[in-house]
Amino acid sequence: MAIFTVIGLGSFGETVATELTRLNHDVIGIDTVQRNIENVADRITHAVIADATDEKVLEELNVQKCEAAIVAIGEDIEASILCVLNLKNLGVSKIWVKAKTKSHHMILSHLGIDKIIHPEQDMGIRIAHTLSYPIVSRYMALDHDRFIVKIVIPAQLQGAHLADLMRISSMVRVLMLKRGTTVFYETNAHFTTLQQGDLLILEGLQSDLQRLSESFSP
């Protein structure tokens, strides 16, 4: 169990705070808006109405003892930056920040933030990928052009040989095949016949995965 601080309990911050709590972590949620505090008060460890731009307030709340802090302030960029500076002054080891604009991102990058988050942009990219390649149900970026994707085999590919499909993008690696409740971490494509509902976890360059997903699509 770890202690996390979430500053800003709008929709994004609320989601982060409640999910961390669900994962059995202690969460200090901070916001200046009473309504936001009331929304999460019974779902996280501590919900506090406080001004996180005041370093002394953060120190009194012992945020310096937390594993990581997430600054999820939305519109007020100045407040977001002040929170970051306060957290750094208090020695918080890991800081993640929601960025609103490109200039906000640039300032945060110069402050050496561990992770800069763009929820709306990330979701937009995810939706675009899903619409473009419906067979890809989940994906995770490893860097700017390499991804891990989850593909669920449709009825149209029942009985297809994995080797025939993988030949289209030979540089893509099969990390896992799940069939029902059985998981295979090592697969021989030449002896694997696909069944509807099989789940494949694949890794490779975006261009190779796109080409492969098109061949998987009905």
Q: Dump pLDDT digits (tens) for 83-126.
A: 999 999 999 989 999 888 888 888 888 888 888 887 766 655 66
156 band by pLDDT with thresholds 50, 70 and 90? confident
Domain 3-117 shares a fold with domain 122-216: no
State pTM to two decimals: 0.66
| Overall average pLDDT of the 190-216 stretch | 80
Phi, psi of 48 (to 5 degrees): -130, 130
Judge contact between 158 and 217, C-beta under 8 A: no
136 band by pLDDT with thresholds 50, 70 and 90? low
Percent share of the chain, pLDDT over 90? 37
| Overall average pLDDT of the 58-83 stretch | 91
From 143, 151, 131, select the one nearest 209 (Cα to Cα): 151
Q: Supply the CATH classification number for the domain 122-216.
A: 3.30.70.1450
Q: Supply the CATH classification number for the domain 3-117.
A: 3.40.50.720
| Overall average pLDDT of the 67-86 stretch | 90
The domain spans of the chain are: 3-117, 122-216
- The β-bridge partners of 199 are 152, 178
